[in-house]
Amino acid sequence: MINSMTGYGEAYGDCDGVSYAVTIKTVNNRYFKAVVKLPELAAFLEEDIEKLLRDNLARGTINYVLRLKEASPDALFDIDQTALQAVAQKLSRAGAAAGIHGTIDISNLLNLPGIIRSASPDAEKAEQIREVILRTSREALEQLKKMRAVEGGFLEADLKERCRAIRDDLQQIHGRSSLVLQEYAEKLRKRVDELVAHAELKLDEDILAREVAIFADRSDISEEVSRLESHLEQFDQCCRANEKAGRRLDFISQEMLREANTIASKSSDTEITRFVVDVKCQVDRIKEQVQNVE
């Protein structure tokens, strides 16, 4: 069973009056790329969260967002009262020395660097926050993985249907290829008979047989058809056996297209060419769909 790279999951958790909301969105990417957005209160968890994502997801662009809800001011920031008092005293002394009298607007002082700082939890508090956020992240990941599995089921059904269509075309190609040689021999004999009839010459059967053999060797596509059938079998096995088979499926589909191109280049029969065009269209669609597989 394969998984899609597209999905969404969310979960919520609480710790000491602070509510945490985790959302995880994933989209296609050839490689693993995690974009983690955390509030300052939980910035120390960035490595843990990225490791959790890597342990559960093989590839794709993962957008992880942690938001705080219903958080008290004490949980979000601290005011350095010592620094604030020192600044206020210096301003008062400077104003008195300059003969300036007035009140100090504390809201302006809060904008000064170092007055307001992000809250830094102690070790015990940090561990509690870590447990809640990681647990909530795992719950969001489970939702995400379920959605990716459902999408993967639709992808797998579509891919298998296209593989079946290719097998049908290969049967037609195989059946037609055995007739092509016979038709070529008949056409060659007829053409030679017409030419030698006017010159009153006798047809050398050995020469005719040699020409037919050369054509048969040059246009033989049995090996390419066999390899393409083998690739289809590998593709099907990979879908059944590996949940994270995207890269392998991509490689197999490239090999399928290579064999189809070789068949097209070796065959001069219009019927076979028509079937090969259908095969290549199906393989191209498979290659597009595989880009969605984890």
C-alpha to C-alpha distances, 143 to 11, 146, 202, 250, nearest whole angstrom: 8, 5, 81, 26
Q: Quick one: which H or E segment has residue 6?
A: none
* Statement: residue 228 has pLDDT above 70: yes
In CATH terms, the fold of domain 7-74+121-151 is: Ribosomal Protein S5; domain 2 (3.30.230)
Instruction: Find out whether 232 and 163 touch, Cβ atoms under 8 Å.
Output: yes
What the block records as the tokens of 281 is 């269209």
Instruction: For residue 230, give the amino acid letter.
Output: S
What DSSP assignment string belongs to 193-210?
Answer: HHHHHHHT----HHHHHH
Average pLDDT over residues 266-276: 80
pTM for the whole structure: 0.70
| pLDDT class of 204 with cuts at 50, 70, 90 | low
Domain layout of the chain by residue ranges: 7-74+121-151, 81-109, 154-290
Beta-strand runs (E) in the chain: 7-15, 18-27, 32-37, 60-69, 77-79, 116-118
For residue 128, the model assigns a pLDDT of 85
